[in-house]
Structure 1
Amino acid sequence: MLKEVLVVEDEMIIRQGLKVLLEDVLGGFQVTEAKSGEEGLLHIRQQLPHLIITDIRMGGMDGLAFTAKVRQVSKDIPIIILSGYSDFEYARSAMRQGISEYLLKPVNRTELSEVISKIFKPTEVESIDTSKHFQKIIQYIQENLSKEITLHHLADYVDLHPQYIGQLFKSELDQSFTEYMKEQRLKRAKELLRDTQLKVYEVANLSGYKSPKHFMTIFKQKVGKTPIQFRNLT
């Protein structure tokens, strides 16, 4: 389920940039934009978001005044304050007023991702659910290594966002999806070379390599031996 994020920022280019970052780059979020604190409060009174990101300096109601109003409605909504370098100390003092995090402009996508991951750290029940999804993903990969597999294939299979699945590989295995796929294809190739008498091109095909020549090049680079040399030595 998509998490609702309210972005309160009077600069349109920053609002739209955050919308793209959250919806298209990180994924799993649906952004509502507000160009002022007053407009942000109107949205909150209609529907409480899962997260609020607000600029600290805006025309009219500033970020701290807006935050104070939000806290009258809800004590629990996580709030991220955006500030320029000159407002650094001002923003830090806001941490005592119920702000979850603050980020300096321009927003760095890696920092934003880390902050959001910390805010939405899964509970034990959600962790179990995530683990089940991930085991299902791993099983699918093992059963379909001979085929092309992308994050979008996996997303369709388990009904999750591709970007979220990519993040799962990082959090669960500490490696990227691409790194994992390369590792598993090479592992499968070694098993087939060691345990069968299949021809090299057949091993390549069953391990998911489209080109036997490419397979032999990659194998030599990673293993230090050609497929035939590896087979003869095992």
Structure 2
Amino acid sequence: MKIMIVDDEPKIRKGIKMLLDGQMGFDVVGAYDGADSALMDILEKTPDVIVTDIKMPEYSGLDLIEKIRERDKKIYIIIISGYSNFEYAQQAIKYGVYRYLTKPTNPRELIEVLREIERKQEPQLCGSEPPAGMYVNSDVGNLLVRKAVDYIEIHYAEKIGLKSIAEVLYISPNYLSDLFRRHMKENFSDYLIDFRLKKACIYLKMPEYKVSDVSQMTGFRDAAYFSTVFKKAYNMTPLEFKNKAK
């Protein structure tokens, strides 16, 4: 799978390239410090995936994505940005971005997203898979749910809930709750807790973070509640999980 990287920060650009070069089946066909030079090479190098930042001097990642979509609807695009502004996520939805990740990005998370794309590629070649953008479903209700899920992915560490996300989407909490249950086959609150717990598992494996740190980082303001919910889900406390992961 051919991957192109666009990021004006040399350390991040080189770090992503080194990470992906070490993965079987990944071919980094270019790493660029600006959107202009990347855009010139896209037609020639025909990448399957573009990993790009949003905020860059002169020519932004969103400008790049807009130009790419004028030429090609099928390239998978992953945004890695230090900006968790939902307006950027909304623009990403508009351009059919596959995933919006925030810096500092967990390397494992990026690899998981790329492997997910890799699994999609074979069916796509047979014509049975939709275009690369996640938001090809024309059902408005499903699009709103997808926006809610994107908001959770960006803001899970903050104090968020059904009401606050419904306000961002300009719909009622009851309507969002019904949409979520219909399209995701689970309650909003269950999804939010499950998402936060999965993030917690990633951070607990990192020795630099204490259990109390992870609780705060994943949106659980009460460490005791975090421990209770975690044990119910995984049949062990966060500390036991952390010790086991060493």
- TM-score where L is the length of structure 2: 0.46
- TM-score where L is the length of structure 1: 0.49
Q: Larger % of helix: which?
A: 1
Q: Max radius of gyration: which structure?
A: 1
